[in-house]
Amino acid sequence: MNQLQHLITHIRAKQSFLCVGLDTDASKIPAHLHDFSQPVLEFNKQIIDATRAYCVAYKPNLAFYESMGSEGWDILKSTVEYIGPDHLKIADAKRGDIGNTADQYAKTFFNDLGFDAITIAPYMGREILSNHFWSIKTNGL
């Protein structure tokens, strides 16, 4: 079953189109979560646990993770792994570059981080939809 069919199956089973955004602002994490070694990751896990039965996708906003440097990337990767294979994972990256740069974004988000989809900012035209994006994510759709 390809990703689109998998998503449609979940939409029908849950009777839901719900996509949960994980725009996790480290400065707004509840105080009780600061006892954990990674409060942002713990916050994400609790949100995921509370919504897993109702949603079909999760969409972490990468700006919140990138702003934390390498620790943020580690938290993002752990969050994606925690979501697991049963939900669509969308990198809310809003990337928009051309050529080799778009290829590198696709490689990072799909291969290295395990996302299923990515948001883009199409201001630079069709070239931002790199061949890498299409060869990885649309094969068989």
* Active-site annotation, residues: 94
Helix (H, G, I), strand (E, B) or coil at 75: helix
Helix (H, G, I), strand (E, B) or coil at 139: coil
| Nearest alpha carbon to residue 13 among 50, 58, 49, 56 | 56
Which secondary structure element, helix H or strand E, spans residue 65, and what is its range? helix 62-66
Instruction: Go through 108-131 and write b for each residue having 16 or more CB atoms within 10 A of its CB, e for each that does not.
Output: bbbeebebbbbebeeeeeeebebe
Structure tokens at 24: 């996790």
Distance CA 79, CA 103 (A): 23
